[in-house]
């Protein structure tokens, strides 16, 4: 089994695409190098921000292989392999292992709306499929229509390969319940940038971040200050970056962050349907935010 995910800053890697919707793997390689140079602790490709829902299995393989090749073992890679099909998730998990990842991110199945028993069974069947990789459970009810409840997390955390949960429910009481009741060594990671510092303050272990695509160094400073107990410093970084965290969700992720990265000269703004380009009003908000917090120096 590969190492467990580190505490700290993980980045939900955005996937550059050409205007026709095809993968821009050269752009991805440049982006990954920039993220590593910016000090991220872990890469998480093929998640929500990476637009995995509109990738076919071979495209996911190519994205993961590019990340693994560029990273050269400098940081762990936990690749998204979750779908709303248990059988398909097992196949993606095996493919990710073959490409050399360190672990997996498994989202709760979307659309199907399984019961807690169904969620438990789904995760167990993927985890026990012989892939032998550590797994981060991913709870994002706003995207999937189902909530992974604390008692289900606790049952799954008894599995050796279930090492963390990415919590994006925005339910602080639920997250505190998980932190209070989790077994030793099981990590609780924020799935929302704006909740990263509150969750760390409550005993959480870091964040899988969208904003780290834009400002990996500044997000690292926030997260590591919080984990080290330097709360005044962490709060300063948090409030400086809060407008960016909010602007990144002015429309559906990853449309705003890719628009921001385009304004920064880092990648094209292109997303796959059914997502559509950022509206003019939202683009102006993103542009103003980047100017106001010093990410771009002139109006682009």
| 111 in active site | no
188: β partners = 165
Rounded distance between C-alpha atoms, residue 169 and residue 155, angstroms: 19
The active-site residue, picked from 91, 111, 138, 239, is 138
Q: What count of other Cβ atoms lies within 10 Å of the Cβ of residue 21? A: 12
Angle value at C-alpha 200, between 135 and 32, nearest 5 degrees: 55
Q: Would you state the structure tokens that stand for residue 187, as one six-digit string?
A: 């990590």
Rounded distance between C-alpha atoms, residue 159 and residue 11, angstroms: 25
Q: Which residues contact 177 (CB under 8 A, 6 or more apart)?
A: 150
Give CA separation, 138 vs 66, 91, 164, 241, 268, in Å. 23, 18, 9, 24, 27
For the chain, give percent helix, strand, coil, nearest 5: 45, 15, 40
Q: Which residues contact 62 (CB under 8 A, 6 or more apart)?
A: 23, 25
Q: Which residues contact 22 (CB under 8 A, 6 or more apart)?
A: none
Closest Cα to residue 136, out of 190, 56, 193, 61? 190
The active-site residue, picked from 74, 166, 239, 258, is 166
Residues known to be catalytic: 138, 166
């Amino acid at each position: 089994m590969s190492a467990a995910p580190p505490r700290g800053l993980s980045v939900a890697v955005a996937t550059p695409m050409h205007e026709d919707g095809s993968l821009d793997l050269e752009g991805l390689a440049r982006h990954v190098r920039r993220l590593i140079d910016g000090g991220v602790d872990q890469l998480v490709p093929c998640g929500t921000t990476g637009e995995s829902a509109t990738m076919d299995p071979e495209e996911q393989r190519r994205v993961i292989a590019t990340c693994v090749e560029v990273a050269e073992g400098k940081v762990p890679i936990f690749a998204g392999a979750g779908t709303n099909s248990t059988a398909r998730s097992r196949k993606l998990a095996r493919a990710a292992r073959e490409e050399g990842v360190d672990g997996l991110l498994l989202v709760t199945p979307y659309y199907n709306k399984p019961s807690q028993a169904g969620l438990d069974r789904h995760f167990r069947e993927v985890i026990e499929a012989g892939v032998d990789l550590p797994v981060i459970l991913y709870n994002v009810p706003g995207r999937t229509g189902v909530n992974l409840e604390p008692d289900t997390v606790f049952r799954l955390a008894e599995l050796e390969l279930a090492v963390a949960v990415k919590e994006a429910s925005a339910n602080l009481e639920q997250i505190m319940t998980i932190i209070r009741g989790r077994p030793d060594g099981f990590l609780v990671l924020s799935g929302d940038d704006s909740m990263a510092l509150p969750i760390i303050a409550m005993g959480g272990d870091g964040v899988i971040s969208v904003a780290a695509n834009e400002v990996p160094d500044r997000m690292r400073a926030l997260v590591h200050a919080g984990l080290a107990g330097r709360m005044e410093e962490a709060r300063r970084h948090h409030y400086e970056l809060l407008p960016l965290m909010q602007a990144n969700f002015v429309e559906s992720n990853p449309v705003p962050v890719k628009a921001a990265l385009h304004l920064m000269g880092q990648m094209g703004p292109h997303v796959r349907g059914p997502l559509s380009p950022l509206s003019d009003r939202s683009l102006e908000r993103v542009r103003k935010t980047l100017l106001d917090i010093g990410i771009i120096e002139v109006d682009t």
